[in-house]
Chains A and B, each alone.
Chain A
Amino acid sequence: MSVLATRNLTKHYGDQVVVDDLNLIVERGELYGFLGPNGAGKSTTIRIALGLVFPTSGSVEVCDVPVFTTVRSDGPLRLVGAVVEEPAFWDYLSGRRNLELFARAAGPPDDRTARLAQIDEVLKMVDLEDAGRKHVKAYSHGMRQRLGIARALLGAPELLVLDEPTNGLDPQGMREVRRLLRRLADNGVTVFVSSHLLSEVETMCDRVGVLSSGRLVADGPPSGLRKASGSVVFEVDDGAVALGILRSLEGVVVEDEATVEASTGAPSRLRVRLAEEVSAAQVNAALVGGGVGVGAVRPEQERLEDAFLSLTEEPDSHEWAPHAG
């Protein structure tokens, strides 16, 4: 059963297509990373899923209930907790008081009572037990971010939607948020988290969807984001000799010899591309046969940034360059 699903979701602002025929499915219990450069349409998608922005066409379902036929307090949004862009509060009130007001703001009396009873627990989860009494205007950016997550956790949501939750946090804060989200997902909460940072999503998420210009251009486990590039790296103890041998072999193209020094006897890293019929083992044998010590042979993965750029770059993206200045 999907917890969040968009079907042919499209949003236009005037002539601009912000979300373009998006079909996205997030399964129960997943930690789903929603990745894309700034301006790809992540926030708009999230706002549509939360009933804040109306789609031009298509639909969104939360726990199989459409968001846009029941935008009432008993709608599917009761099952959702969210941080949408900046976490905003009534700054002149304490963190705890803010949570109390939001806990009381909606739903039947039973829900309100249940949410009020959870305040201590959620403050503890985000490590703000002591700071709960302070006015929010005295909070650091990281504390506001954590209080935002605490507010989203009120009401024990089945789906947590977080828009760039680690934006502006220091490395320590980012790690804490990532751990918290991982722990929540392990406890069965479905977490949908957007980010423009590939490395963050890669280390944290079960599945990653990549959004580019409003379209989903990749969807799968993070390990699948990076393809093997087809190149092989040899670490050798004598770069100059090794380079000579490699150049003499059929079906071997040296791609990177930047670390080779002119004098013999200096260690270096060589990246080569191999033709179909040539194996890395054969090349290795040739090098060793030529008296070169081979320290390591490894297939090279595409660099993270390259993978991201190749997914999100428009084929005609150079067209805007002349206008940029």
Chain B
Amino acid sequence: MATAFVAIPTLIVVALVLTSEPPEPGEGSPFLRLVEINGVFASLVGLSVVQPFFLPLATGLLAGDAIAGESSAGTLRYLLVRPVGRLHLLAVKYASVVTQVFAAVAIVALTGLAVGGLAYGIGPLPTLSGTTLAVGPALLRVAGAGLYLVLGMAGLVAVGLLFSTLTDSGPGATAATVGVYIVMEVLDALPALRIIHPYLLSHHALAFADLFRSPIALDGITRGVIVDAGYILVFLALTAVLFSRKDVTS
């Protein structure tokens, strides 16, 4: 998985270096044609490419396996009789999966920065509003974009952890978690369901682009953070209640 996260921004930059054709308007990431101006944009293109599929897939794999993997290996009962408290176990597993998702996002951002910088150099960043950002603040905003993506995935981790406690099959919990995210993306693409769009985890995911306007447009990002926090709280609470009352028969 880590290989994929290194490979994606690298391939994007290599493809750009090898071809000179500009993308059609509206095609690809809004940052794509900007990479050739400034290597920093390779980070942002990398993040927007992994966001809809690779990142939820990795997140689903890690979260789905967190408890169900121990359960199917039989080690869950031995941890619990040690005794590791059930809530303590959930907290440790949640933190460890979110940390790994953070690492995945960091790999994409840093690889993009390195490869993009090598190919096109790193300089002051033109914003989507036409102004220019110094290198320092630009890198800070890239970090902010990464953290915003991690927060969205932290919501998905909470969903995945719930599935992971409900089954003894890691792959089953993974499939359910990734499935839920894909269904959200599909629903998000249906204009008729506009009324539920604000409550979908995936709806706000690309709002991090707003960090690269001047001044920063905080509306979308704020709504995203609130929805993410809501998913985290609701699903962690539900998981905690159900898991602490569960008969562990695996």
Contacts and interface: CB of A to CB of B under 8 A. Distances in A.
Interface in B75-99: 75, 77-86, 88
Contact of B78 (A54, A72, A102): A102
B249 interface: yes
B83 A78 contact: yes
Contact of A88 (B78, B82, B248): B78
Interface residues of A, number: 26
A100 to B, nearest CB: 13
Contacts of A91: 73
Interface string B143-183: 00000000000000000000000000000000000000000
The residue in A51, A73, A106 that gathers the most chain B C-beta atoms within 10 A of its C-beta is A106
Nearest to A111: B82
B24 interface: no
A33 to B, nearest CB: 21
B74 interface: yes
B82 A53 contact: no
Contacts of B82: 77, 102, 105-107
Interface string A304-321: 000000000000000000
Interface string A101-141: 01001110000000000000000000000000000000000
A51 B80 contact: yes
Contacts of B79: 102, 105-106
Question: For the side of the interface on B, what is the size category?
Answer: 10 to 19
Contacts of B245: 54
A73 B77 contact: no
Interface in A63-82: 71-73, 75, 77-78, 80, 82
Given A47-B249, A54-B247, A90 B83 contact: no
Contacts of B74: 85-86, 88
Contacts of B88: 73, 106
B249 A90 contact: no
A90 B73 contact: yes
B248 A53 contact: yes
A51 B247 contact: no
B77 A72 contact: no
B58 to A, nearest CB: 20
Contacts of A77: 81-83
Nearest to A11: B247
A161 B78 CA distance: 12
Given A88-B73, A102-B78, A53 B249 contact: yes
Nearest to B84: A106
B81 A71 contact: no
A107 B82 CA distance: 9
Contact of A89 (B75, B84, B85, B247): B75
Given A50-B77, A91-B73, A105-B84, 13 more contacts: A47-B249, A51-B83, A52-B248, A54-B245, A73-B83, A77-B81, A82-B78, A88-B73, A88-B75, A89-B73, A90-B75, A106-B79, A106-B84
Interface of B: 73-75, 77-86, 88, 245, 247-249
15 contacts: A50-B77, A50-B80, A50-B81, A52-B81, A53-B249, A71-B83, A71-B85, A73-B85, A80-B81, A84-B77, A88-B75, A88-B77, A105-B79, A105-B84, A106-B88
